Amino acid sequence: MKKVSIFWFRRDLRLDDNNGLFQALSQSNNVLPLFIFDKNILDKLENKDDARVEFIHDQITLLHQQLEKKGSSLLVKYGDPEAVYNELLSEYAVQAVYTNRDYEPYAKSRDQKIKSLLESKEIPFHTFKDQLIFEPGEILNGSGEFYKVFTPYSKVWLSKLKPKHLEAYKPMHWKNLVQTSALELPTLNEIGFEKSDISIPSKTADEEIISHYNKTRDFPAKNGTSRLGIHLRFGTISIRQLAQKAKELNATYLNELIWREFYMMILAYNPQVVDKAFKPAYDQIPWRNNEEEYAAWCEGNTGYPIVDAGMRELNATGYMHNRVRMVVASFLTKHLLIDWRWGEAYFAEKLLDFELASNNGGWQWAAGTGTDAQPYFRVFNPSSQQEKFDKNWKYIKKWIPEINSDKYPKPIVDHKFARQRAIDTYKSALNQ
């Protein structure tokens, strides 16, 4: 059997500035790059034209081509990771496995299984920090506990940031890759998916947009956000390179990257937030969960233009402007009193840039159940949000062509009534 060390790609689909890959190539000869289409994840996706899966497949194809040019290849498998590793151990004399850390509950459980399997064969399992500047456990308060509020966390984060944290990992010792002819790459259809009509935003970090981010980010009609979420999610860009750009160009943009790390830290320390409120008292709220109203919200037919434009944008493109995300989430949870978990699940299905920690954190913030949450008595007024951030109706008219006609529905609920109902419902539940 051929002796190899394995580098396992997961949320780091790039060759440049990849910590785990750098370490593997620095420490081992005959490094075999591996990617597993994890059926435990893919089987849960109902839409077989999921643009995110197509995106991953495209990136895997690109990696495959890039490695081929270096005289090597990418081994691509489809299946349960534990079963795949059992298969690999019978095919190769595996010396070590290298990979970058993932902090989501499923990923941690999966990695523990693989680690145990490898250790039973006396094979080391090396993991590295790559998708974050500071990972869970690196930013703690004076008592050695995790921060529950963002502002003090961000201050410590910024005070700890040094040039070394943003340095790229290079040079890569490509000569240590396994030299092999091109290995077989399964097609999108072979893993049970098909092409999507939704297009993927560019991974180029537009310096003009980042430079003006603090002035333009709240206006959905403007091209004022970087749209890099999906690339951060799957690691097609380096967080170190992006944070370096943000540090040079715009503090507000850098702050958004810190929010991302804050929510990942919250999830790592509080895995229960996946299906429970961060603040347990809020699990007492008696949600109305009206299915007809939920369907109207999903379809963008609530009669509130800023809400409907956002939902239609999401359904058509897999993207929704961040300001609008806050408005539609507040509307669902406060105006309609529908469980934040319903909205979170819908976003998880539709968003190209879906990332568990940020999605969960954002929804719990809007519902008042999470960290730093807006207080329950603060209820966004969709009409004033619209007036403030899309006063010329440019965004609304783009997504609701029938806006000024009889075809557009009347408001599903009166704002004043809904606001008071939400406040009373929350207050009563929290005072039990």
Catalytic residue among 29, 54, 135, 287: 287
Annotated active-site residue 190? The verdict is: no
Residue type at position 186: P
Catalytic residue among 54, 82, 104, 256: 256
* Cα end-to-end span (Å), the chain: 66
- 300 backbone φψ class: left, alpha, beta (φ>0; ψ -120 to 50): left
- 3-class SS at 384? helix
Tally Cβ neighbours within 10 Å of residue 17: 20
Residue type at position 228: L
DSSP H/E element including 31: strand 31-38
Catalytic residue among 322, 349, 381, 393: 322
Catalytic residue among 8, 297, 342, 363: 363
- 3-class SS at 400? coil
Annotated active-site residue 363? The verdict is: yes
Annotated active-site residue 355? The verdict is: no
Q: How far apart, in whole angstroms, are the C-alpha atoms of residue 12 and residue 242?
A: 14
Residue 409: both structure tokens together: 């529905």
Catalytic residue among 157, 259, 297, 365: 259
Catalytic residue among 297, 340, 342, 365: 340
Annotated active-site residue 8? The verdict is: no
Q: How far apart, in whole angstroms, are the C-alpha atoms of residue 213 and residue 132?
A: 21
Burial 33-48 (b: 16+ CB within 10 A, else e): bbbbbbbeebeeeeee
- 3-state helix/strand/coil string of 56-123: HHHHHHHHHHHHHHCCCCCEEEEECHHHHHHHHHHHEEEEEEEEECCCCHHHHHHHHHHHHHHHHCCC
Catalytic residues, by residue number, are 256, 259, 287, 322, 340, 363
